[in-house]
Amino acid sequence: MRHLLLFLSRRRGLRRWMEESPRAAALTRRFVAGTRIEDALAVTARLNQAGLWTTLDYLGESITTLAEAAAARDIYLELLERIHAQRLQANVSLKLTQLGLDVSEAACRENVAAVARRARELDNFARVDMESSAYTERTLAVVHDLHEAYPHLGAVIQAYLYRSEQDVEELIGRRIRVRLCKGAYDEPPEVAFPRASQVEAGFQKLAQALLLRGNYPALATHDKRLLENVLGFAAQHGVPKDAYEIQMLYGIRRDLQARYAAAGHRVRVYVPFGGAWYPYFMRRLAERPANVYFVLRNLFRR
């Protein structure tokens, strides 16, 4: 099922139909905050009241014009301004293909620099999301280069890639903040671990390195058993709870989000919004079968 859903996530015709369908859009409300900045900020305010922080992601990837890239950049700049004005506990997450990487790497770097610069000025933070393995090298190169001028810029590492151990070591050496996740794309066995047990072992190993030597890492997983193992390691080695974050996706394992926040952990929820929700939504379904059952159950409700 996972491979089928990831295959469907790349079908342009199906994406166009889904994103234009009011009924289909209604099904995303558990996982997507809405289409407008106001929707994302309202969700953030509600989560903040519950003791949860957020990172906001304006959905969209693989744009084809620099005008689209500039428009996405401006959305992030407005987000930072409004987060600051409303004194919300939130930062932003962005994708390089949305900011023009496939059109002009130079323009993409300028767009990311603009967001990172404003995040620094407002004492906030911007995270560059990781996309498929085809973009890993270029994504990390942009982060490495810009981090020297803009330390309020972080990266994401996907534990299922063979290269991730080396990448984590370099990011630790550069003092770049890392969000560690398992990985959500359909990668070939030439570049990624094919078995779930291998991915989990890789996640645990990388998380331990980041907890001991990294700069305020974010542990992004909904796997309770895996997370408990990692948090147990942190406690055994005297890593304080304010030295890292737990990160989870909006609408997924809300019980765990509340439980860890109540236990004194810093929990940040990844909150996506925007009209281009289909690829993100399908990757979330592929990650966890329970999400598919949730959607099907609601599909037939009146």
Residues annotated as catalytic (active site), given as ranges? 129, 179
- Coil, strand or helix at 77: helix
User: Do 32 and 291 form a contact (C-beta atoms < 8 A)?
Assistant: no
Residues in the chain: 302
> The dihedral of CA 277, 278, 284, 287: what is its sign?
negative
- Coil, strand or helix at 262: helix
Q: What residues does 92 pair with on adjacent strands? A: 56, 126
Q: State the amino acid at position 273 in one-letter form.
A: F
User: Do 222 and 270 form a contact (C-beta atoms < 8 A)?
Assistant: no
Query: What is the C-alpha to C-alpha distance for residues 47 and 55, in angstroms, rounded to an integer?
Result: 11
Q: What residues does 179 pair with on adjacent strands? A: 156, 218
Helix (H) or strand (E) holding 254: helix 254-262
